[in-house]
Every structure is written in structure tokens, then in C-alpha cells.
Amino acid sequence: MSEAPARPVPAITPEMAPFWEAARRHELVVQRCLDCGAHRFPAREVCSGCLSRRAEWQRVGGTGHVFSIAVMHQASHPWFAARVPYAVVVIQLVEGPRMLSTVTGLAPHAIEIGMPVEVGFEDVTPEVSLPVFRPASARTAAPPTGRPR
């Protein structure tokens, strides 16, 4: 009997190490420019808004909405073979950055653009906890603009 393929996990680069350290604590962090205040993800050395090199990692609320969806019908890696079709989803965080992830708890075709979501974490290995998103509960759901309803 053959061994099941191991789940592929992201490589932890030096630039993104603080993100993965926070994810292990089940906290979502993104870089924030210390000069113009813009949030950015993934980590970059230079702010695309003001060209500053000064940045910090800041915890964000973990809520946002579905920006785009792609439903995969072919396995890009043997681990995904038993999981097709699955959704690859771009999440727009309330703070602004977009993050490639997925939405759990729904069939891929039930995920809708604009759907409010909140972060959760899947502990995959001792080093990697993946941020994944689920439909937001009424308590945390907010319109994408953050304006009151």
C-alpha cells in the first residue's frame, strides 16, 4: 500500500517569517508602512504608496470579503487529487490587503463574490498554520466598506 501524499505547505521565507510566527499563534498580521500607514501583503521591502522602507507587522481583525474565486477541477499536486473541486479564493481584508486563501464550510460553487468572511487557522505542521476563511457570523459581518448599514 502506498503512502498518502503529504500536504504541500508554503515555504517560510525570511521576509514572511513574522507572518507565519503569528499564524502559529492564530493571529493574522500584515505589514504596515510606518510613514503613510498603508497595510500591505505579502511583505515587501518598499511601500508601493510612498516608497518608504520603514514598516512594522501589525495584527489585523481577520475580517473581509470574497474578492474573487477560482474553482479548481484538476489537482495541481497529488494531495489535492481527493479534494477536487476546491476553491482558491482571494480575500480582501477590511484593512485593504488581498490574501490568497480559501473559504471553508461551503461547497466551492456556493462561495460568492462580496461574501463577508472571517479568518480561522488550520494547523498543518508544527511550523505552518494556514489562515483560511469562513463565512462571517452575523456578529462580525460588516459591509466591505466598513460603513454602518
Please report, as ranges, the residues that interact with Zn ion according to CB under 5 A: 33, 35-36, 38, 47, 49-50, 52
Residue pair 58/32 in contact by the 8 Å Cβ criterion: yes
Q: Give pairs for 46-55: CB < 8 Å, separation 24+.
A: 55/31
Instruction: State the DSSP string of 28-56.
Output: -EEEEETTT--EESS--SS-TTT----EE
Residue pair 74/128 in contact by the 8 Å Cβ criterion: no
Min dist CB 42 to Zn ion, Å, is 16
Min dist CB 44 to Zn ion, Å, is 10
Min dist CB 60 to Zn ion, Å, is 16
For Zn ion, the closer of residues 47 and 117 by Cβ is: 47
For Zn ion, the closer of residues 93 and 111 by Cβ is: 93
For Zn ion, the closer of residues 52 and 125 by Cβ is: 52
What are the strands of the beta sheet with 55-59, ordered from one edge? 39-40, 29-33, 55-59
Min dist CB 45 to Zn ion, Å, is 12
For Zn ion, the closer of residues 7 and 98 by Cβ is: 98
